[in-house]
C-alpha cells in the first residue's frame, strides 16, 4: 500500500511495519499528511525485502510480529550501509521499559508508545528527520575534512589542471572529487601570474 503527497518538493519514503492492519493504516496516514510516500509491511521478512529493494527515509517497527521481531529487523537494517543513520522508530507498550532499552540497544533512533497519538507522532517524525539531516551534514563535513587532510599529507606534489589529478614526486596519483578540483583550481589557476625575471647584477 502506498500513499503520496505530490506537493512535496523532495520525495521522502517511510516504511511502516506492523502486523495489525489498522495500526499500519493510522501510522501511514500520519506520515502521508506531512508529505511522505508510504509503504507498509505486515511482518519482518517483508520489511527487510522492501528495505533491500529501495531506501526509505524513515522506518517504524512494531516489536511483536510474525517472523523476526522489531528488534531483529532494526539490527538487520543497521547492518545495511544505507540505513546506518536513517531514523528508525520502534513501537512499545506504555510501561514496557525493558522493550525501550532493547529498542535503543538494537539501534533505534526513538520509540513510540502504544496506542500512538497522531499529533505526537507527527512531532516525533519531524524531530528525528531533522536530527538525521544534521547528522548527514556533519558526515559530509567530516568527509570533506578527511579529504583535505589526505591532500595535506601527500607531501610534494603537482596538480594536473586538465585531469584533476595530484601527482606526487614518488609517482603516486590521487583523483580528486569535483569539489576538491574546484578548490584546487582556485589555488592553482590555469594561467598563474609569471614572476618577473631576475635582473642581472
**Residue 124 confidence (pLDDT):** 86
Residue length, the chain?
201
Residue 92 has, within 13 A of its CA and on its CB side, a CA count of 17
pTM: 0.64
The C-alpha atoms of residue 188 and residue 18 are separated, in whole angstroms, by 57
Is residue 1 within 8 A of residue 38, CB to CB? The reply is: yes
Q: In what order do the strands lie in the sheet with 88-92?
A: 2-3, 36-41, 12-17, 58-62, 88-92, 110-113
> Closest by alpha carbon to 63, among 82, 88, 34?
88
Inform me whether the pLDDT recorded for 81 exceeds 80.
Answer: yes
Q: Is the pLDDT of residue 102 over 50?
A: yes
How far apart, in whole angstroms, are the C-alpha atoms of residue 76 and residue 71? 9
Whether 77 and 88 have beta carbons less than 8 Å apart is answered as: yes
Closest CA to 58 of 141, 139, 127: 127
At 127, is the pLDDT very low, low, confident or very high (cuts 50, 70, 90)?
confident
- pLDDT at residue 39 greater than cutoff 50: yes
Amino acid at each position: 500500500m502506498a500513499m503520496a503527497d505530490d506537493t512535496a518538493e523532495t520525495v521522502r519514503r517511510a516504511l511502516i511495519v506492523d502486523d495489525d492492519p489498522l495500526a499500519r493504516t493510522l501510522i501511514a496516514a500520519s506520515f502521508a499528511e506531512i508529505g511522505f510516500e508510504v509503504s507498509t509491511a505486515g511482518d519482518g521478512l517483508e520489511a527487510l525485502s522492501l528495505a533491500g529493494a529501495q531506501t526509505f527515509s524513515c522506518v517504524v517497527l512494531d516489536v511483536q510480529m510474525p517472523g523476526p521481531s522489531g528488534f531483529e529487523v532494526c539490527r538487520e537494517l543497521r547492518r545495511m550501509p544505507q540505513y546506518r543513520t536513517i531514523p528508525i522508530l520502534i513501537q512499545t507498550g506504555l510501561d514496557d521499559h525493558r522493550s525501550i532499552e532493547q529498542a535503543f540497544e538494537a539501534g533505534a533512533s526513538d520509540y513510540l508508545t502504544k496506542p500512538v497519538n497522531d499529533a505526537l507522532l507527527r512531532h516525533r517524525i519531524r524531530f528525528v528527520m531533522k536530527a538525521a539531516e544534521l547528522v548527514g551534514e556533519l558526515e559530509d563535513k567530516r568527509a570533506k575534512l578527511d579529504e583535505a587532510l589526505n591532500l595535506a599529507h601527500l607531501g610534494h606534489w603537482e596538480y594536473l589542471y586538465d585531469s584533476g589529478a595530484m601527482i606526487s614526486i614518488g609517482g603516486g596519483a590521487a583523483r580528486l572529487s569535483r569539489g576538491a578540483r574546484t578548490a584546487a583550481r582556485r589555488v592553482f589557476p590555469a594561467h598563474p601570474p609569471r614572476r618577473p625575471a631576475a635582473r642581472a647584477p
